[in-house]
Structure 1
Amino acid sequence: MKVVVIGGTGLIGSKVVEKLNAHGHDAAPASPQTGCNTITNEGVDDAVAGAGVIIDVSNSPSFADDDVMSFFTTATTNLIAAAKKAGVGHYVALSVVGCDRLPDSGYLRAKVAQEKLIADSGLEYCIVRATQFFEFGKSIADGATVDGKVHLPPVHYQPIASDDVATAVARTAVGDPVNGVIETGGPEPVRMDEFIAAGLKRVGDPREVVSDPHATYFGTELTDESLVPGPGAQLGTTTYADWVAANAR
């Protein structure tokens, strides 16, 4: 079975391609680097032709509200049209845990819009919502930095290793479509302000982390349940300590 991975040259996509091919599937990456541009629609039909499964793990190059909404709606509309033309039997997309609970975030509103396009497409599908990746700790800190200090809320979230996200996506893609949402997250919840502070200290980053209940994450305030997966989520097995040790090597 041919599997096309949109965004297949990126962090998650390259891992998904590797995992699927290691298990005997015919997975191919598709991205602007391979001649498939889901925004201009150049090369999309050719990339999707003959595929039984499409996996979309692509991401917007800009997180500005209008840009990210335009990216996900345009790319998804083009991919749905190509999938229908090719007779794709399973459409899988990567989204974010809690996106439907946080409408004040432009990025998360765009993910909800993407999900709705897929759900309303008539295609067999599955949305895999993942929590934040271990790899994005510095990006979270950078986005929360004001006047040299990192302002973060004292709320729980459940970060996950990107390798475990790729495993969840690959496993979902070769399973039966559920026509709904599957959640995945890290093995344990941690407090965002404390976790990021410890991570910065580990790499020698001198920035102070300020615990601020009103600090925003991608434009929205958080509660203690905002970014935590619900009951029945498929939890990753890689702990943060294991991830640190593996990356140190």
Structure 2
Amino acid sequence: MKILVIGGTGLIGSRAIQRLIEHGHKAISASPSSGVNTLTGEGVADAMAGVDVVIDVSNSPSFADDDVMNFFVTSTTNLLAAEKDAGVKHHVALSVVGTDRVPESGYLRAKVAQEKLITESGIPYSLVHATQFFEFVKGIADSATEGDTVRLSHASIQPIAADDVAAVVARTAAGAPLNGTLEIGGPEKFGMDELIATGLAAFGDPRTVVTDATAPYFGAVLTGDELIPGPDAELSTTTFSEWLARS
């Protein structure tokens, strides 16, 4: 199959392309650096020529509420229109576990809007809902840092390795459309504060993690299991300690 990967130079996209090529598919990276800009529409139609499947793992360059909403709505609208014209048979999008459970988060509201466009497009689709990646431990810490203190709640998180996410995205793209959602997560559940403290210590980061029930997580105050996948989720096997050891 010929598979176009929007955001193909990123953390998940580059890994998914490698997996697809290893399994004999023609996987092509599309990003602004390659002349394909889904936000402006530049190069999108040309990139769709002969494509069977589109994987969208792109992300907004800004997480400000208005910016992220504009990115996902505009980008997805442009993509879906081009896919219809080109006769693309399957649209695969990477999203987030708990999108509809944290309305206070501007980012997750934008992902909900993106998913609505996809499910109502008429194009066969698959949504992969992933938990947070191990690779974003430092990013989470940075977003919650005041001076040398990182304030985070003890809300539950079940993180997953980016390699495992990419494997599922690639497998999903190579298969029949789900016309539904697949949830994936890591094998272990942590408190947010516990996860970040463990990660920072492993990286030799001197910041101190303080538990604060009111601390926001990218704009939303979490109270419990909003970001935990459901009982039917597919869980990977890579543990956080294993990932840390090879990182």
Shorter-chain TM-score range: over 0.9
How far residue 85 of structure 1 moved from its aligned partner, in angstroms, is 0.6
Deviations 1:58-98 (A, max 9, x none): 00000000000000000000000010011011000000000
Amino acid at match of 1:74: T
Q: Which residue of 1 aligns with 2:19?
A: 19
Q: Percent identity?
A: 64
Question: The residue matched to 2:83 in structure 1 has which SS?
Answer: helix
CA contact (8 A) 2:155 2:192 kept: yes
Q: Which residue of 2 aligns with 1:76?
A: 76
Query: Is residue 134 from structure 1 mapped to residue 134 from structure 2 by the alignment?
Result: yes
Amino acid at match of 2:64: A
* 1:1-249 matched pairs, under 5 angstroms: 1-247=1-247
Residues in 1 aligned to 2:189 and 2:83: alpha-carbon distance in whole angstroms: 37
CA RMSD of aligned residues (A): 0.9
Question: The residue matched to 2:59 in structure 1 has which SS?
Answer: coil
How far residue 223 of structure 1 moved from its aligned partner, in angstroms, is 2.3
How far residue 199 of structure 1 moved from its aligned partner, in angstroms, is 1.1
Residues in 1 aligned to 2:200 and 2:246: alpha-carbon distance in whole angstroms: 18
Q: Which moved more, 1:195-204 or 1:28-37?
A: 195-204
CA contact (8 A) 2:149 2:208 kept: yes
How far residue 153 of structure 1 moved from its aligned partner, in angstroms, is 0.6
| Structure 2 gap ranges (5+) | none
Residues in 1 aligned to 2:116 and 2:153: alpha-carbon distance in whole angstroms: 29
Residues in 2 aligned to 1:230 and 1:171: alpha-carbon distance in whole angstroms: 21
Question: The residue matched to 1:62 in structure 2 has which SS?
Answer: coil
Question: The residue matched to 1:94 in structure 2 has which SS?
Answer: strand
Q: How many residues align?
A: 247
Deviations 1:104-153 (A, max 9, x none): 00001000000000011011001101000000000000101124311101
Question: The residue matched to 2:4 in structure 1 has which SS?
Answer: strand
How far residue 227 of structure 1 moved from its aligned partner, in angstroms, is 0.6
Residues in 1 aligned to 2:242 and 2:200: alpha-carbon distance in whole angstroms: 17
How far residue 236 of structure 1 moved from its aligned partner, in angstroms, is 1.4
Deviations 1:138-190 (A, max 9, x none): 00001011243111011211010000000111111111111111111111111
How far residue 246 of structure 1 moved from its aligned partner, in angstroms, is 1.9
Residues in 2 aligned to 1:150 and 1:122: alpha-carbon distance in whole angstroms: 44
Deviations 1:203-243 (A, max 9, x none): 12111111011111111111221111001111112111211
Residues in 1 aligned to 2:182 and 2:26: alpha-carbon distance in whole angstroms: 24
Residues in 2 aligned to 1:17 and 1:202: alpha-carbon distance in whole angstroms: 30
Q: Which runs of at least 4 in structure 1 moved beyond 4 Å after TM superposition?
A: none
| Structure 1 gap ranges (5+) | none
Residues in 2 aligned to 1:29 and 1:128: alpha-carbon distance in whole angstroms: 19
Question: The residue matched to 1:170 in structure 2 has which SS?
Answer: helix
Q: TM-score, normalised by structure 1?
A: 0.97
Q: TM-score, normalised by structure 2?
A: 0.98
